[in-house]
Amino acid sequence: MIFIAAVFLPLLGSIIAGLFGRQIGDRGAQIVTCALLGVSAILAVFIFNDVALEGHNALVPVAAWIQSGNLDVAWSLRFDTLTAVMTVVVTWVSFMVHIYSVGYMSHDPSVPRFMSYLSLFTFAMLMLVSADNLVQLFFGWEGVGVASYLLIGFWYERPSACAAAIKAFLVNRVGDLGFALGIFGCYVLFGSVQMDTIFHDAPGKAAVILHLFGFDWNAITIICLLLFIGAMGKSAQLGLHTWLPDAMEGPTPVSALIHAATMVTAGVFMVARMSPLFELSDTALTVVTLVGAATAFFAATIGCVQNDIKRVIAYSTCSQLGYMFFAIGVSAYQAAIFHLFTHAFFKALLFLGAGSVIHAMSDEQDIRRMGGIWRHIKVTWILMWIGSLALAGIPFFAGYYSKDTILEAAWASGSDVGHLAYVMGVAAAFMTAFYSWRLLILVFHGRPRADDRVMAHVHESPAVMILPLLVLAAGAVAAGWAGEDLFVGEGRAEFWRAAIGVLPHHGAMENLHAIPEWVGLLPLGMALSGIALAYGLYVFAPGVPALLAGWFRPVYLFMLNKWYFDELYDWLFVRPAFRLGIGLWRGGDGALIDGVGPDGVAAATRFLARRVARAQSGYVYHYAFAMLLGVAAFVSWHVFNAG
Amino acid sequence: MISDLVPLFPEILLALTAMVLLVGGVFHSRDVTREATVLAILAMLGALVLIVVLGPDRREAFSHLVVVDSFSSFIKTLILLASIGAAAMSVGFLEREKIARFEFPVVLLFATIGMMMMVSANDFLSLYVGLEMQSLSLYVLASFHRDSTRATEAGLKYFMLGALASGLLLYGISLVYGFAGTTGFNGLAAVLGQSGHPGLGVVVGMVFVIAGLAFKISAVPFHMWTPDVYEGSPTPVTAFFAAGPKIAALGLITRVLAGPFAGLSGQWAQVILVISVASMAVGAFAAIHQTNIKRMMAYSSIGHVGFALVGLAAANGLGLQAVLVYVGIYLFMTLGVFSVILSMRFRGRMVEGIHDLAGLSKTHPAMAFVMAAMMFAMAGVPPMMAGFWSKVYVFMAAVKSGLWTLAILGVLASVVSAFYYLRVVKVMYFDEPVEPFDKPERPMRLVMAVTTVVVLAISILPGPLLTGAEAAARALLP
């Protein structure tokens, strides 16, 4: 019962706030959604205790859904350790964001709609993580996609927000196509979309060969790669990442909840959930590693030069997701989920902190026009420091434990790709520290660069916004050492049980302690040097960054313009699609279908009508002539036919 | 001798009434149109009762010159209803136009008798007599407003072209007589029913007969008088033209082709098919540009004749039934539309423009509803299923005879014609009202109510009409 309640209470809140928002008012909508989600969050703690710590997996049937031939899809909630972890993360971060939104969105004219969307998202996300078959997972997957679309475009009167929402939806569609094909593939191969069936039958089908496009493919590899394309779309991996920075057009709480802490990790979750399948395909795992490592590195380089406070954090998110994926690629699923867990806290903290800064700076988002405000908003300042320390992986903050585990696991995997991922990950760690402190210094320290009017107005956010930040900060400080033992330490086998399947010869997690000492210390050293470099460039020699940008102008522009991915896609896909669309519209629909069809027929009808009406001359001899002509024609017809 | 008279009691009743009214009217110095009309209507109601009392059995009289069977009873019922409706709607109009003469109901009665004679004809001679009696009465009615040039022009045109049509018909009859040796339908059916190729002379004669009758039903290319006469005649006369004579002539052509010429169905079906397609096309296209609603209804009636002839072209039992169903529904739709047209009156002045209906839904919601219902029915668009059923039946009959092309052309024509019907609805419901019409007179309201109820009833329960039409059609089949 508590399982169903935990999942469906947010839906109830969403329906109430969405349909009856006008009746219950802003305050009512806030209270209803926060209260119902609060209950759900508390239930999540019980669920975590029951399922993850005490080891009682649960399978809760809800209703029948599709029964057609041998396709049997039911609504049912599957709770194991993986789901329990995700449930806690989703409900608590969402709960904090709900409360934060009460303050942040207080001046918005459509508060009930916003709260309704947030709760709807939470429901869809819970549906996603508790799915026990792929179709239900897909339902949740698309549900969060819809909620994300609605929330990015929440301020729909802004053209940029609408464009960003559409972009997010379309780019995700590319990934979803892969995901859907992957599900079809599973059904073809296993005759079922039930996860238990798939995992049970998978080892027996490891060698099945598929003939496709004239080549032989390993069926499991194909399915895994298709599923991974879906994960790439949702988790903004290199190639399908372009929507995530634009998604920052949505309100900041949305960025924190959906585009940092929860939804974008759905891809990581899904691949981890399908671990028994991915384990069977080394090719797929290699691809996952490479894509993840490349994303971690690539996004970090862009993060170093962005000037919009939210975009810096957005690229940081992209980069951290890359870490999670290459951890999965080296079969360190536990480390990936551990990082997902800690990342949710400190990234939500950073985003909400950024929201607090933006709030204080009268909606200014450009860090070049900030600076020196730490004195005015001390609480936010401290919280942002905590978040950055956690993100950079400074010891005893959350990120230190999870990120180090990932990097060590990458090395410990012993493979070439693993080592490559390690190198890229360490480089990304250096840049992560650099851009985090660049952001901190430019925003809070130095001389104020905003005008006096804005500076006079700088103020700390209300308690309703600070309180959630404190909770998240506690998570950012404590989640690492509290969870290390369970997630990736000695207790992990008992903690995860069957939720994650790893083949014995993929020993990244087992070999963690058998690696050289420098492997574990190098990331920390790089992080510290990154911080030092940021201090060097932005505190002690503030003129140097501009000089560097001038000297290495092509490189700088390349990074500033996000490696020209948007331009490339624009040229490669968007413009041809537009051209094709315009061609089909003007030529196909307008000229051909309308021209020959409705318009043409109508014109022909009018023409005929005019001609027929003109035959009516009014002269009796015309009429008589027509009659005689008719008789003559009929008689001739019969005479010729008879003859 | 008496037994010869029994089957014709309805016609005799009407004839006696007409002559009494004629004599009585002459002896009254004041205008007695209203009283004469009431009496005429009562006589026609009496004729209806007599038809029911006589029953559906086939009786022949006067040496097989006339026949009364369920087919003639069915058509006569429709004719009488059309005449009653036209008579009821005429009085107010005539008085307002200051052309109220007691001769109007009398001539109307003679026309009705002529039509009833036509459909009871069992010989080309009795056919011709009935047809001419009807036609001569109609010429008079068309130019009843003798001070109006439009009305006299209409009457004159109708007369001249009607004379030509009669000439064609008579020439055809003489050819048939010359090659078959008889004018009686029974004898012709026997002679022409024999196997072997029919003589070319008979076929040519039949084509002339068809041409003469096609003029009466205003089928293309013998239709060209229709718009001018419909527009020029006084509106109650137009209503009568559109309903009574058209149905009578359709009944007549059906009987002639399915009776004496049944053996030549291979030949006449070709002619009817061409006439049918041409009528549907002209009815659909020519009406689009009309601004005068009477003229539009003229083309609409041409189109409807085309649809009805689809059933005849099918030349099977289902087709005959479909024709009868079609004319039955057509009668009520036409009367309903003309009851509205006759109520288009601003401060006592009649108007005929389609645009005058603008905003009728706001000024006279009930009238607009009646008109919209009739327009939907004529277009054959649900929810007014009546017109839909009638089209379904004729197309079904055509398909059953393998005339797919004809059915498809018919459907396309009905699509085009839907445009001008729906335009009337659009004008009534979406255009801004100019000035409200005067309140409709009581007879108009009565006709509106009755026709709407009947059309709605047929929409929901087409059963009784279908069985009636089936019984009538069976009388024509051997």
**pLDDT tens by residue, A43-70:** 999 999 998 888 888 888 888 888 888 8
Contact yes or no for B227 and A616 at CB 8 A: yes
pTM: 0.65
- When pLDDT is averaged across residues A415-443 and rounded to a whole number, the result is 92
Confirm or reject contact between B197 and chain A (CB < 8 A).
yes
Flag whether pLDDT at B164 surpasses 90: yes
The domain ranges of chain B are 265-478
Per residue in A552-595, pLDDT (tens digit) is 888 888 878 888 888 888 888 888 888 888 888 888 888 888 87
Closest to B204 (Cβ–Cβ): which among A610, A618, A635?
A635
pLDDT at site A337: 93
ipTM of the complex: 0.89
E strand or H helix at A83: helix A81-104
Determine if the peptide bond prior to B383 is cis (ω within 30°): yes
Confirm or reject contact between A627 and chain B (CB < 8 A).
yes
DSSP lists the bridge partners of residue A131 as: A77
Half-sphere exposure at residue B6, Cβ-oriented, CA atoms within 13 angstroms: 11
Is there a contact between A241 and A566 (Cβ–Cβ < 8 Å)?
Answer: no
pLDDT at site B348: 80
Residue of A nearest to B171 (CA): A631
Is there a contact between B312 and B257 (Cβ–Cβ < 8 Å)?
Answer: yes
**Lowest-pLDDT range of A24-38, A450-464, A625-639, B418-432:** A450-464
- When pLDDT is averaged across residues B201-221 and rounded to a whole number, the result is 92
Q: Residue A597 CB: number of other CB atoms within 10 A?
A: 11
Flag whether pLDDT at A157 surpasses 60: yes
- Which of A605, A611, A614, A616 is the best substitution to test chain B (most B C-beta atoms within 10 A)? A616
Q: d(Cα B305, Cα B220) in Å, to the nearest integer?
A: 9
| Coil, strand or helix at A34 | helix
Output B189-198 pairs: Cβ under 8 A, ≥24 positions apart.
B189/B259, B189/B260, B189/B262, B189/B263, B192/B260, B192/B261, B192/B262, B192/B263, B192/B264, B193/B262, B193/B263, B194/B263, B197/A642, B198/B263, B198/B264, B198/B267
pLDDT at site A558: 83
Window A:264-283, CB contacts with B under 8 Å: none
E strand or H helix at A209: strand A209-212
Residue of A nearest to B274 (CA): A634
Is there a contact between A16 and A37 (Cβ–Cβ < 8 Å)?
Answer: no
Flag whether pLDDT at A436 surpasses 60: yes
Mean confidence (pLDDT) of chain B: 91
Closest to B211 (Cβ–Cβ): which among A612, A616, A631?
A631
Residue of A nearest to B161 (CA): A624
Q: d(Cα B47, Cα B43) in Å, to the nearest integer?
A: 6
Confirm or reject contact between B461 and chain A (CB < 8 A).
no
Alpha-helix residue ranges (DSSP H) falling in B56-199 = 70-96, 103-120, 124-142, 149-180, 185-192
Residues in contact with A504: Cβ distance below 8 Å, sequence separation at least 6, in sequence order: none
- When pLDDT is averaged across residues A315-321 and rounded to a whole number, the result is 93
Confirm or reject contact between A604 and chain B (CB < 8 A).
no
Say what angle helices B149-180 and B124-142 make with each other, to 10 degrees: 170
Q: d(Cα B383, Cα A40) in Å, to the nearest integer?
A: 52
SS3 content of chain A, % helix, strand, coil (to 5): 75, 5, 20
Closest to A612 (Cβ–Cβ): which among B207, B210, B282?
B282
Closest to B285 (Cβ–Cβ): which among A612, A626, A627?
A612
Alpha-helix residue ranges (DSSP H) falling in A241-377 = 243-246, 252-256, 266-273, 275-278, 282-303, 309-329, 333-360
Per residue in B19-52, pLDDT (tens digit) is 999 998 888 878 889 999 999 999 999 999 999 9
Residues in contact with B425: Cβ distance below 8 Å, sequence separation at least 6, in sequence order: B371, B372, B375, B376
pLDDT at site A388: 94
Is there a contact between B361 and B355 (Cβ–Cβ < 8 Å)?
Answer: no
Say what angle helices B235-258 and B124-142 make with each other, to 10 degrees: 170
Q: How sure is the predictor about B196, in pLDDT bands with cuts at 50, 70 and 90?
A: low
A490 versus A417: the higher-pLDDT residue is A417
Contact yes or no for A620 and B160 at CB 8 A: yes
Per residue in A328-369, pLDDT (tens digit) is 999 999 999 999 999 999 999 999 999 999 888 888 888 888
Amino acid at B276: S
pLDDT at site A432: 94
Is there a contact between A339 and A422 (Cβ–Cβ < 8 Å)?
Answer: no
- When pLDDT is averaged across residues A71-100 and rounded to a whole number, the result is 92
pLDDT at site B67: 92
Confirm or reject contact between B277 and chain A (CB < 8 A).
no
- Residue position matching structure tokens 């052509």: B253
Contact yes or no for A642 and B211 at CB 8 A: no
Is there a contact between A349 and A391 (Cβ–Cβ < 8 Å)?
Answer: no
Residue B353's alpha-carbon distances to A13, A87, B297, B426, B428, in angstroms, are 60, 73, 12, 14, 12
Flag whether pLDDT at A643 surpasses 60: no
Is there a contact between A247 and A152 (Cβ–Cβ < 8 Å)?
Answer: yes
DSSP lists the bridge partners of residue A217 as: A210
Contact yes or no for B200 and A623 at CB 8 A: no
Mean confidence (pLDDT) of chain A: 89
Contact yes or no for B200 and A618 at CB 8 A: no
Flag whether pLDDT at A129 surpasses 70: yes
Q: How sure is the predictor about B195, in pLDDT bands with cuts at 50, 70 and 90?
A: low
Q: How sure is the predictor about A632, in pLDDT bands with cuts at 50, 70 and 90?
A: very high
| Coil, strand or helix at A491 | coil
**Lowest-pLDDT range of A457-461, B152-156, B248-252:** A457-461
Half-sphere exposure at residue B165, Cβ-oriented, CA atoms within 13 angstroms: 31
Amino acid at B313: A
Contact yes or no for A626 and B222 at CB 8 A: yes
Contact yes or no for A631 and B160 at CB 8 A: no
- Residue position matching structure tokens 């929810």: B383
- Which of B139, B161, B168, B224 is the best substitution to test chain A (most A C-beta atoms within 10 A)? B224
Flag whether pLDDT at B382 surpasses 80: no
Per residue in A501-520, pLDDT (tens digit) is 888 888 788 888 888 888 88
pLDDT at site A96: 93
Flag whether pLDDT at A28 surpasses 70: yes
Q: d(Cα B314, Cα B319) in Å, to the nearest integer?
A: 6
Residue A617's alpha-carbon distances to A106, A612, A613, B95, B143, in angstroms, are 76, 10, 8, 33, 20
Q: How sure is the predictor about A140, in pLDDT bands with cuts at 50, 70 and 90?
A: very high
Chain centroid to Cα A247, Å, comes to 9
As given in the structure block, the two tokens for residue B275 are 């006439």
Residues in contact with B258: Cβ distance below 8 Å, sequence separation at least 6, in sequence order: B320, B476, B477
Confirm or reject contact between A638 and chain B (CB < 8 A).
yes
- When pLDDT is averaged across residues B328-337 and rounded to a whole number, the result is 94
Q: Considering only CA atoms, which of A447, A373, A461, A395 is closest in space to residue A101?
A: A461
Flag whether pLDDT at B385 surpasses 80: no
Q: Residue A74 CB: number of other CB atoms within 10 A?
A: 16
Flag whether pLDDT at A15 surpasses 90: yes
Q: Considering only CA atoms, which of A337, A336, A340 is closest in space to residue A317?
A: A340
Q: Which residues of chain A have a CB within 8 Å of the CB of B224?
A: 615-616, 622-623, 626-627
- Residue position matching structure tokens 């026990």: A132
**Torsion angles phi and psi, residue A75, rounded to 5:** -80, 115
Confirm or reject contact between A55 and chain B (CB < 8 A).
no
Per residue in B393-427, pLDDT (tens digit) is 999 999 999 999 999 999 999 988 998 999 999 99
Nearest-CA distance A459 → chain B (Å): 59
Closest to A627 (Cβ–Cβ): which among B164, B197, B286?
B164
Flag whether pLDDT at A72 surpasses 90: no
- When pLDDT is averaged across residues B325-337 and rounded to a whole number, the result is 94
Nearest-CA distance B39 → chain A (Å): 38
Closest to A605 (Cβ–Cβ): which among B160, B267, B285?
B285
Q: d(Cα B425, Cα B405) in Å, to the nearest integer?
A: 30
Nearest-CA distance B152 → chain A (Å): 14
Q: Is A20 exposed, middle or buried (0-12, 13-18, 19+ CB in 10 A)?
A: middle
Q: Which residues of chain A have a CB within 8 Å of the CB of B290?
A: 613
Amino acid at A262: T
Residue B244's alpha-carbon distances to B77, B113, B294, in angstroms, are 10, 11, 16
Flag whether pLDDT at A523 surpasses 80: yes
Q: How sure is the predictor about B257, in pLDDT bands with cuts at 50, 70 and 90?
A: very high
Q: Considering only CA atoms, which of A124, A46, A41, A36 is closest in space to residue A79?
A: A46
Q: d(Cα A618, Cα B426) in Å, to the nearest integer?
A: 30
Flag whether pLDDT at B211 surpasses 60: yes
Is there a contact between A446 and A538 (Cβ–Cβ < 8 Å)?
Answer: yes
- Residue position matching structure tokens 């995860």: A496
Alpha-helix residue ranges (DSSP H) falling in B55-102 = 70-96
**Lowest-pLDDT range of A222-236, A442-456, B155-169:** A442-456
DSSP B374: H
Closest to A609 (Cβ–Cβ): which among B161, B225, B286?
B286
Residues in contact with A369: Cβ distance below 8 Å, sequence separation at least 6, in sequence order: A361, A449, A450
| Coil, strand or helix at A75 | strand
E strand or H helix at A365: none
Amino acid at B155: G
For the residues of B214-239, what is the DSSP string, one character each?
A: HHHTT-TTS-THHHHHHHHS-HHHHH
Q: Residue A270 CB: number of other CB atoms within 10 A?
A: 25
- When pLDDT is averaged across residues B297-311 and rounded to a whole number, the result is 94
- Residue position matching structure tokens 């001070």: B147
Strands (E), A69-155: 71-79
Q: d(Cα B196, Cα A642) in Å, to the nearest integer?
A: 13
As given in the structure block, the two tokens for residue A431 are 């840049």
Nearest-CA distance B364 → chain A (Å): 31
DSSP lists the bridge partners of residue A76 as: A61
Per residue in A241-285, pLDDT (tens digit) is 889 888 888 899 998 888 888 889 999 999 999 999 999 988 999
Confirm or reject contact between A612 and chain B (CB < 8 A).
yes
- Residue position matching structure tokens 């909840």: A257
Region of B197 (left: φ > 0; alpha: ψ -120 to 50; beta: rest) is beta
